[in-house]
Amino acid sequence: MPSLENLRKRAKQYLRWHRQRYHPVAFLIGNLLPRYSALGDRQILAAPFKLADAQELVARRMGFESWAALQLGIEAMNDQAPRPATGPCTLGAEPVIFVTDIKASCDFYTAKLGFSVAFTYGNPPFYGQVQRDGARLNLRRVKAPVIDPQLRDSEDLLSAAITLDDAKPLFLEYQASGVDFHQRLRTEPWGARTFIVRDPDGNLILFAGGSD
C-alpha cells in the first residue's frame, strides 16, 4: 500500500492535469466519479474539480469508496506492517499490452478473463486500461505486431505477469470460459503454480500463485 503522502501527491497531480485540460484525466474522472459520468471530456474539464474530488478519484482507483475510507485502510495496513524505509515510494506497475483492436481486446479481457474496463481513450480508441482487483493492464493499439510471433511462442516471451494468492481456482474459471492457454496449470520447481493465457493478439499473460 502506498504511503498517504504519496497518494496526496497523486491527487494534486490529477488536480493539475484537470486545470491543464489534460484529456486522459477526463476519462478517469468520468469513469470513476459517478457525478461526472454523464459529461463529455470537454464538459468534465470545464466543470469544477477540487482537491477533494481528486482525492476521491485516487481512492476509487485504489478500490475504496472515499478518501476517508482509503485513509482508514492505510492506517490498518500500517498497524500490521513494519515501517518502510524512507525515500521515494513506487505506486504500482501497469504493463502495456500491444493490441490491434482496443474494443476487441476489452471484450476479451472482460468476457473471458473477468477484468473490467477502467477507461478507453480516443475515437476510435487507441489506448485503454482493464483491471481486475489489484491487477491493471494498459492496452495500446498498434498496426503491426511488436514482437515476432514465432520467437514469442518459442521463447515464452511474456507481456505481463500477474501474481495471485492461489492460481488453481482462476485457472479452472478460465478453463470453463474457453480461454486459449499457452501453458496450462503446472507446479514449478520452486513451488509456484503457474499458467499462461494467450490473448487475441497472441500476447502471453502469466498468472502465478501459491501451491497446494
Would you kindly state where each structural domain of the chain is located, as residue ranges? 4-80, 96-141, 149-210
> Can you name the CATH fold of 149-210?
3.30.720
The vertex-145 CA angle with 140 and 146, nearest 5°, equals 70
The whole model's pTM is what? 0.63
Dump pLDDT digits (tens) for 58-94. Answer: 998 888 889 998 888 887 766 665 555 566 666 678 8
pLDDT confidence band for 134 (50 / 70 / 90): confident
Q: Domain 96-141 is in which class?
A: alpha beta
Res. 211 pLDDT band, cuts 50 70 90: low
Give 180-205 pLDDT, tens digit per residue: 999 999 998 778 899 999 999 999 99
DSSP, residue by residue, 87-144 = S--------EEEES-HHHHHHHHHHTT--EEEEEEETTEEEEEEEETTEEEEEEE-SS
